[in-house]
Amino acid sequence: MSLYGLTRHHVTLGPKRTTVTLDKTLSILLSLQLGHTPGTPQAKNAVRLWLQARIDQSGDYCRGLISHWLQEKVIFALVSRELDGRYVDWLCSTPATFTATVAPPRDTPAAVAEVVKPALANIPKNR
């Protein structure tokens, strides 16, 4: 089994079937985290089901760049919460990065609202 390249997974976006690609290393790491031996049909199915669950949880079946979005979800599922927290802190403390980012920190809607309020307060209102 090659350790480099991309893996393809068939998922659905609402009623539409599509293929997403995931870096093979990320796919291997995710299959290990899910408790499966990489390269087996069970591992591939487990990764596909995990990816599909992320799509279904978002409810956004018109999302573009789905492979890139899912890759980010996999990365943050693999990194520690401490590193994820440091990333969110860095993202929110860097105004140019924060305003250029459309995805809020994961799984913390209340905290996101608290972070966004001060940032939005500094934006001039055009009325």
The pLDDT tens digits of the residues spanning 23-33 come to 999 999 999 99
Reported as a pLDDT band with limits 50, 70 and 90, residue 61 is confident
Please state, as a whole number, how many other Cβ atoms lie within 10 Å of the Cβ of residue 12.
12
pLDDT reading at 121 higher than 80:
no
**Alpha carbons 78 and 72: distance in angstroms, whole number:** 10
Mean pLDDT of all residues in 88-115: 61
Reported as a pLDDT band with limits 50, 70 and 90, residue 2 is confident
Average pLDDT, the chain: 82
pTM, to two decimals: 0.69
